[in-house]
Amino acid sequence: MKYDETRQVMAIAPVIPVVVAPDAAAGVEIARALVAGGIGVIEVTLRTEAGLAAIEAIVNEVDDICVGAGTVWTAAQATQAIDAGAEFLVSPGIADEVNGVAKTRDIAYLPGAQTVSEIAHLRRQGVTAAKLFPASVVGGPAAIKAFSSVFPDLVFCPTGGIKEDTAGEYLALGCVPCVGGSWLVSADAVAAGDWGSIRGAAERASALASD
C-alpha cells in the first residue's frame, strides 16, 4: 500500500480489528479466523513485545489479509513495523515523525486526532484520512458530523469504545468508511484459543457493510 492509499485500506472491511497479540502463533490464528469470517484487514498493535513478530508471522503465513501496525508513536517503531512487513501504520494521536517515515517509505498511514486543531494540523500535513480516538469519549457520531462539516474532504475511522451494537451508528455517516474495533478479538477468546468465536464476530462485522 502506498502513502496515498490509506482510503483503500479503510475500504477493505467495515471494521478494522484492533488486535493485541500475546505471541506470533496466536496472531496467525487470529488472522486466519478473521479471514474465514470475511474480514481481510488487521491492525496488530505494538503494545506488546510480540507485536512485531506477530506482524511478520501473519504476513508470511496468512493469505488474503492486509496487515497493519497500530499504536505506532516513533520513527523507530514505524521503521521496524515496515521492515516486519506491515502494509499500513496507525497512530492513536498526532505522531509527525511516523508520518514522515510513512511518506519516505511510501506506506499507507492513518494518524489519530481528537480535536479540530489536531485535525487541522493533519490536513496541513497532507493527510486526508484520520483515526478519531477515543471516539466514544470525544462525542461519538455527533462529534464526527461536526468535524465533517468543517473538514468535508476528510474521512474518519472512529475507534475506541465502539461495540458491535453501536458500530452501525458510525458507519451510517458518509464520512466513515470503517470503524476500528477490539470487540472482534476479545482477550478471553484469545486466552482460550477460541478461534471460532473470533470467526463468528468477524462474520457479523463483515455483514455491517450491507446493513
Span between the terminal Cα atoms of the chain, in Å:
28
pLDDT at 197: 98
- Residue carrying C-alpha cell 496507525: 90
Residue pair 171/207 in contact by the 8 Å Cβ criterion: no
Q: Has residue 182 got a pLDDT over 80?
A: yes
The whole-number average pLDDT for the span 115-119 is 97
Which residues are part of the catalytic machinery? 43, 131
Q: Has residue 1 got a pLDDT over 90?
A: no
More confident residue, 160 or 3: 160
pLDDT in tens, 6-64: 999 999 999 999 999 999 999 999 999 999 999 999 999 999 999 999 999 999 999 99
How far are the Cα atoms of 33, 128, 173 from residue 151, in angstroms, in the given order?
36, 9, 14
pLDDT at 3: 87
pLDDT at 10: 98
The DSSP H or E segment spanning 76 is: helix 75-84
Dihedral sign (CA 211, 109, 97, 175): negative
The whole-number average pLDDT for the span 185-201 is 97
Strands 108-110 and 88-90: parallel
Among the listed residues 145, 166, 174, 175, the one whose alpha carbon sits nearest the alpha carbon of residue 208: 166
Q: How confident is the model at residue 211 (pLDDT cuts 50, 70, 90)?
A: low
Domains in the chain, CATH or no CATH each? 3-210 (3.20.20.70)
pLDDT in tens, 128-141: 999 999 999 999 99
The whole-number average pLDDT for the span 94-115 is 97
d(CA 111, CA 129): 8
Q: How confident is the model at residue 116 (pLDDT cuts 50, 70, 90)?
A: very high
Calculate what percentage of the chain has a pLDDT beyond 70.
Answer: 100
Q: Has residue 73 got a pLDDT over 80?
A: yes
pLDDT at 153: 95
Q: Has residue 210 got a pLDDT over 80?
A: no
